[in-house]
């Protein structure tokens, strides 16, 4: 047992509904142990109707940091004291942290998405984003920060994409015509390819992929989706979703602790978890 002089264990966790299998506790709890930080990261499945009560609990209990996932990324915003400019622009929060006694919301998905592109020196002239949910908003915001001149969005339901295109100055591409736009970068933000009922499904026809483009799939479980395999077979450069997941977690951990998660060790941890 810890002695009476030991620092208190600081609570962190992820809130969403349903949560299902998340790798976030694995990453952050490993980080706390690695740096000797007295912290723990838990999973909190919270239904939408109980979100306000959850935020009250964060304040009362002094919970140090929270990851926010579907369906709470937008609904949680008016319950906070401050929202960063980036999160406000995106219209979604995926991280809660404290600053000068105020509960703040940030969106680390943007930095998580951009980092693999920046590291590879990829600056496409055009990009096609598949899907229009919260992840798509973060992706389009990141592409705009990277000054990609031609950003287009394709979604099965045109009406749902209108707000995203309007907010970020992107152009809509009908879903049935998505393969006709020869984008330098294609990003999948849909659940197509994800482990479960969508596994083995690709958001793009294989014959629409070629050797000159870059394919970025945000789905990280399984590690290599059908979309990624088809793209690799066509000779395209592929960025797997685990990279974005890792980098957004790095940003969250830094916000909460000021420490940078070591890349090699955490990457192997994640790969082993997916393989197992």
Could you report the per-residue pLDDT of 64-80, keeping only the tens digit for each?
999 999 899 999 999 99
The sign of the dihedral angle between the CA atoms of 89, 93, 99, 103 is positive
For the cut 80, the answer to whether the pLDDT of residue 6 exceeds it is no
Domains 10-107+245-275 and 110-239 agree in fold: yes
Q: Where are the alpha helices (DSSP H) in 62-157?
A: 85-90, 109-120, 134-145
- Closest C-alpha to 29, from 6, 46, 12: 12
For the cut 60, the answer to whether the pLDDT of residue 2 exceeds it is no
Peptide bond connecting 222 to the previous residue in cis, omega within 30 degrees of 0: yes
Query: In this structure, what are the phi and psi dihedrals at residue 71, rounded to the nearest 5 degrees?
Result: -105, 25
- Taking the domain 10-107+245-275, which CATH number applies? 3.40.50.10860
CATH superfamily of 110-239: NAD(P)-binding Rossmann-like Domain (3.40.50.720)
Total count of residues recorded for the chain: 276
Give the contacts of 211 (CB within 8 A, at least 6 positions apart): 234, 235, 236
Is 109 exposed, middle or buried (CB count within 10 Å of its CB: 0-12, 13-18, 19+)? Answer: buried
Domain boundaries, the chain: 10-107+245-275, 110-239
Cα 87 from Cα 107, distance rounded (Å): 5
Residue 124 exposure: Cα atoms within 13 Å on the Cβ side: 24
200: left (phi over 0), alpha (psi -120 to 50) or beta: left
Mean local confidence (pLDDT), 3-27: 88
pLDDT of residue 4: 55
Query: In this structure, what are the phi and psi dihedrals at residue 169, rounded to the nearest 5 degrees?
Result: 65, 35
pLDDT of residue 276: 76
**DSSP three-state, residue 100:** coil
Give the contacts of 142 (CB within 8 A, at least 6 positions apart): 110, 111, 113, 114, 117
Residue 173 or residue 18, greater confidence: 173
Give the contacts of 86 (CB within 8 A, at least 6 positions apart): 106, 107, 110, 141
Give the contacts of 77 (CB within 8 A, at least 6 positions apart): 83, 87, 91, 92, 93, 105
Q: How confident is the model at residue 5 (pLDDT cuts 50, 70, 90)?
A: low
Respond yes or no: is residue 73 known to be catalytic: yes
Mean local confidence (pLDDT), 127-156: 96
> Residues 73, 89, 144, 177: which is the catalytic one?
73
């Amino acid at each position: 047992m810890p002695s009476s002089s030991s620092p208190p264990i600081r609570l962190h966790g992820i809130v969403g509904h349903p949560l299902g299998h998340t790798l976030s506790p694995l990453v952050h709890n490993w980080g706390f142990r690695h740096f000797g930080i007295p912290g723990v990261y838990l999973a909190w499945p919270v239904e939408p109707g109980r979100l306000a009560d959850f935020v009250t609990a964060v304040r009362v209990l002094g919970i140090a940091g929270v990851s926010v996932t579907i369906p709470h990324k937008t609904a949680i915003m008016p319950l906070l004291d401050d929202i960063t400019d980036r999160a406000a622009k995106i219209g979604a929060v995926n991280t809660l942290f404290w600053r000068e006694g105020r509960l703040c919301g940030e969106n680390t998905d943007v930095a998580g998405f951009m980092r693999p592109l920046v590291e590879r020196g990829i600056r496409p002239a055009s990009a096609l984003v598949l899907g229009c949910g919260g992840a798509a908003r973060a992706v389009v915001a990141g592409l705009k920060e990277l000054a990609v001149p031609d950003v287009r969005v394709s979604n099965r339901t045109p009406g749902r994409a209108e707000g995203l295109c309007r907010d970020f100055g992107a152009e809509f591409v009908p879903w049935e015509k998505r393969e006709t736009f020869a984008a330098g970068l294609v990003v999948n933000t849909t659940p197509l390819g994800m482990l479960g009922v969508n596994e083995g499904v690709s958001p793009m026809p294989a014959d629409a992929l070629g050797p000159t483009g870059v394919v970025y799939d945000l789905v990280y479980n399984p590690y290599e989706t059908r979309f990624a395999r088809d793209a690799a077979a066509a000779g395209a450069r592929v960025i797997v979703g685990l990279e974005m997941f890792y980098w957004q977690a790095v940003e969250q951990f830094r916000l909460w602790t000021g420490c940078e998660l070591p890349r090699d060790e955490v990457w192997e941890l994640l790969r082993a978890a997916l393989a197992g």
